[in-house]
Structures are given as C-alpha cells and as structure tokens.
Structure 1
C-alpha cells in the first residue's frame, strides 16, 4: 500500500512540474537567467546567497515529495516473499488433502469390494440354508410319514350275527377296516405289529345281547393287559376299555374273546379295535411298564 502511495506522489509531482512549464512558458534555465538578471540589477551582491537557498529548498522539497523508493521496493519485496510463503503452504496443504482424498477413495473402493464379497457370501449362505432347509423339511416329512401310524377296524365286513361262544379263547379278527395308516394292522390275523418304538394308544369296545355275557381282553405279545366285561340276563350290553403302552419294534397287540362268551355285530359296527402312535421314542430310551 505504501508503495502505491509513493508512485502516486511521484506521478502527481511530475504532472505538476510539466504543468508549470506549460503555463509559464519558461524552462529552468530561462528562469535561472531571469532570476540572475533581476538579482544582478537589483541586488548583485546577494545572487550567490539566493542560489544556495534555492538549492537547499529544492533538496528539501524533493525529500518531502519523493519518499525513499528503495525502501518501498524492499517492503514490497518482503510482502511478495511472504505471500509466496503462504502460497507454498497452501499448495502443500492442498497436495496433502488430495493425498488424503485419494486414500479415502481407495478405502471406500476397498470397502465396497468387501461389501460386495460379503453380500455374495451371504447370498451363497442363504441359498445353502434354503436348500438345506428344504432338504430337512423333505426328510422330516418322510420321517413323519414313517411315523404316521393309526388304524381302526370293526368286526364284520357285511351282514350281522354272533361270534362265539367258544370253548377256548380266540383272537378276534376285525375285518372291516376304516383306517390303516402305516399298514401296521393285519385284518386277516387281527394283530397289530409295532413298526417303531414308541408310545401307542389302543381302545376296544364289545357289544352283546343278554346271557352268557361279553368279555374280551387286550394282549401285548402273550401278556394280558386290560379286560372288557359286560353281563346281564336280557337286553343289549356293551363295554369298552383303552390303554397306552410302550412298544418296541416288532411287539404285537391283539384282542381275545374269552371262552364261553359271545359278541354280536351288524352293519352298525358295535365292536371295534383302534390304535395309533402317540409319539416315537429313541432306541436308547429306557421303557418302564
């Protein structure tokens, strides 16, 4: 700023001097000669003194109007040098920031690649889980199909009549099959054979008319488990009973009519034998009767 002020002062002084020369029409030599002539005519002895004073005034005027241009230039140079230093610092900062931006860009690109790989891996895992789930569901369905065991049957396929009495116990055959899921019941022999180890529910009902009564029993293998018994001298009579048993694979369950007893059946299906698997058990499960 100081340098600009100095330059303006120099220009202003130069214009002033030129203007004086134009307006006066005299140059410095003419002015000096005129002053010398006048002084010589009027005060000859004072000419040297006046010239010395004029020279001193001129030097003072120059010192007042023209500041030290070298000092201004030095100050301007220092300012420019300082600005260059600032510019270098800014350039270094910008370069550093660009490097940081490049590193951030590289990091973002790397993270995107990792995210893409992670997403592909997750999609792969999801596909594997989905396929595994479908496979497991199909396996469970197959396993459940193997565990779907239930049957229900009645005595006569057609007609009506008495069964018994006999002199010994006989195994009743329920030939009219309503349900036989798993085909574990044999309508020819009247025997149910356990295909799986598990807990099974069985129920039997008997119907008779008057004497000599109707009595039957549920057997597991050759063991008598529960009995159904009904007796009265006249009219219809009936009885039912049920049991839950733990069966091993290959165990058999059936119904036997006692000796000297009889039952009656018709299209109304008075006598029935039913059973189903409640739930399977592991092979290492300890069964207690």
Structure 2
C-alpha cells in the first residue's frame, strides 16, 4: 500500500513539472522553430550552398571567356587588315606589271609599224620597155643625144621611176642595181648609156652591117637621196623595138645605207 502511494506522488510531481514548462515556457511551434534553427546552425542548407557554389563556378568559367573572345577578335581583325594590305600591294604590283607589259606591247607595236614602214620604204624596184604596143618602131638617129623614156612599165614599186621623163630618182640612200638592154637593126649601130646625174656610167652598144643588133649592160650605184639615173641614146645611133619589148631599163634597191 505504501508503495502505491509513493508511485502516485511521483506521477503527480511529473505532471506538475510538465504543466509548468508548458504554461511558463515555449509553445509547441516555438519549440519546433527553435529546434529547426538549432539544426540549421549545425547543418546549413545544402541547396543554397550548392547554388552559391554553382554561381561562383559559373562566374569563374564565364568571366575568363570574354577576354579570350576579345583577344581572338582582335587577332582576327589584325590578320584581315594585314591581308587587305597585302592584297592592295599585290594589286599595285600587278597593275604596274600590266602597265609595263602594255608599254612593251605598245612599243613593240610601234616598232612593228616603224619596221613595216621602213620595209615599205625599202621596197623599191622598177622595170619598163620603150613602146607599149604596135609594130616595129625606130628611135633615132638624132643629131644630139636624148633621154629615152621607157613608157611600158612592168613594175614600179615605190614609184621612184617616172615613165613620162624616163628618170629614176633615189628616195633614200643606198646601193642600187641597174640594167639596160638594147636592140637595133643594122647597118646603123645601136647604143644605150646609163647616166647617174649628168655622168655617163656604162654603155651598151652593138654594131654589124645588117640584121638585128643586141647588147646589154648593168651597174651597181651608190645613190644619195635625190640622185637620178636614166638612159640616153647618143647622137648618130638608132634603136628599134616592137611588141616583144627588146629595149628595157630596170633597177632596184639592193640595201639602204646610213
């Protein structure tokens, strides 16, 4: 019995203590918040910590990348600028070379034109006979010598020979070749003399009592510009010609001289 009384007393005492804690102390919510606060101080929230760490890592990762991009852009810009300069220099070099080539082509073209003109100036040749058509014609004899006019022109390149006067005029200084052929009927002798300016140079002459007379001669002359060459029939001589062109006068430039 005594033991039962003691147990009841202990239960009453415990109830009183608990009631005192409830009435004068913290309520249940405050106790819970306090417990959570204590737990938070001992173990900080993992979510915020991870978020902060991720933000820090992101900043550490992103911040260095921007300078790297700027440096790459600056390097690329410098490379492009350098390439532009190189391209401009190359264009200038190509333009200079093209202008040089064009000048060379122009000079070559001018040289070719001058060479053609010079070659045309060197194209000098003529050949002519006394009569143009008809039967036998006699020229001479005369009491004085005459200049023969070879009117039947076969060739007159350069137009240095005048068929009206029978005179060849040198258009440029050079060495020229001249030939003359003569034909006549005996017994009168036939002759033809090549003259340079007023000087007789060579003579072609033939004589026999009857029938045809033939002779020819030639000479190379150094002529200055304006020198003249022609053929004369001396006094007392006679020549004859027909459609076969037996009397001819020819000449051509061998080569020019400086």
Shorter-normalised TM range: 0.5 to 0.7
2:130, 2:111 → 1: CA distance? 41
Whether 1:142 and 2:121 are equivalent positions in the alignment is no
1:275, 1:249 → 2: CA distance? 15
1:273, 1:106 → 2: CA distance? 80
Aligned-residue RMSD, C-alpha: 2.5
Deviation at 1:124, TM superposition (A): 1.5
- Pick from 167, 182, 199 the counterpart of residue 191 of structure 1: 167
Q: Which has the higher contact order (CA 8 A, sep 6+)?
A: 2
Q: Tell me the alpha carbon deviations over residues 106-142 of structure 1, each in whole angstroms, 9 at most, x when there is no partner.
A: 8877655544432222121111111221122222222
What count of residue pairs does the alignment treat as equivalent?
A: 185
Whether 1:207 and 2:183 are equivalent positions in the alignment is yes
- Counterpart for residue 18 of structure 2: none
- Pick from 167, 180, 197 the counterpart of residue 156 of structure 2: 180
1:6-21 aligned within 5 A: none
- Counterpart for residue 127 of structure 1: 102
1:12-31 aligned within 5 A: none
* TM, length-normalised to structure 1: 0.57
1:1-289 aligned within 5 A: 113-159=88-134, 160-282=136-258
Runs of 5+ consecutive residues of structure 1 not aligned to the other structure: 1-94, 283-289
Q: Secondary structure at the match of 1:277?
A: strand
Deviation at 1:196, TM superposition (A): 1.4
Q: Secondary structure at the match of 1:125?
A: helix
